[in-house]
Structure formats: C-alpha cells, structure tokens
Amino acid sequence: MRKIRLFCAAGMSTSLLVTKMKKAAEEIGYECDIVAYSVAEVTEKGPEADIVLLGPQVRYELKNVQEKLPGQTVEVIDMMDYGMANGMNVIKHVKEVLGDE
C-alpha cells in the first residue's frame, strides 16, 4: 500500500482533493493511504510517505521540502488538477512517478 502525503498551507484546502483522490484510487483498485497536512508538518509526516505532494499555493516550499526530505519523491500538484479537484489525474500522476503503471 502506497502512502501519499499532501502538504498545503494549513492542511485544510486539500481535503476535497484528498476525498476525490481516494475515490479515484478505489475506482481503479490502487491501494493507497492518502492524508493531508500543513506544510509545517513535513519533517514529521513526510518521511513515512512514498510520495510527498505539495499544493500549488506552497510550491515556493519545494526546494526547502526537498532539502528536509533527501531521497524522498517530492512533487508539486498540477495547478489545474488541484483547482478542479481532479483526483483521478493526480492519482495517475502518482502512479506514473512511482512506477506503478
């Protein structure tokens, strides 16, 4: 089971996307655990993840997060997919990045 951790400004704005991602993963039979947190929790919650996804509103934190989580896969969620809460596209991207296609 893959662990997907999303980080945004306060951990709240991604809740709709998390719900849509869980639904999409269930539809395609992709076993994963998806949780959202505030970017302030990245050093605590990020190391357990298979992939760390940053909300577009905190994309400026990308380099900082990569430095805090060396060797970890860290990506910024596509702004359009985030804005439209397109959980299926985000799950497909995660699968592609992790080589789970």
Structural domains of the chain, with CATH: 2-98 (3.40.50.2300)
pTM for this prediction: 0.94
Beta bridge partners of 5: 35, 52
Q: Note the pLDDT of residue 11.
A: 60
Q: Note the pLDDT of residue 12.
A: 66
- Is 84:38 a contact under the CB 8 Å cutoff? no
Mean pLDDT of 8-29: 90
Tens digit of pLDDT for each residue in 30-70?
999 999 999 999 999 999 999 999 999 999 999 999 999 99
Decide which of 101 and 32 is more confident: 32
Which is it for strands 51-54 and 74-76: parallel, antiparallel or unpaired?
A: parallel
State the Cα–Cα distance between residues 44 and 38, nearest whole angstrom. 11
- Is 21:34 a contact under the CB 8 Å cutoff? yes
Q: What percent of the chain has pLDDT over 70?
A: 97
Mean pLDDT of 12-29: 92
Active site residues: 8
Q: Note the pLDDT of residue 84.
A: 93
Output the average pLDDT for the chain.
94
Say how far residue 101 (Cα) sits from the centre of its chain.
Answer: 17
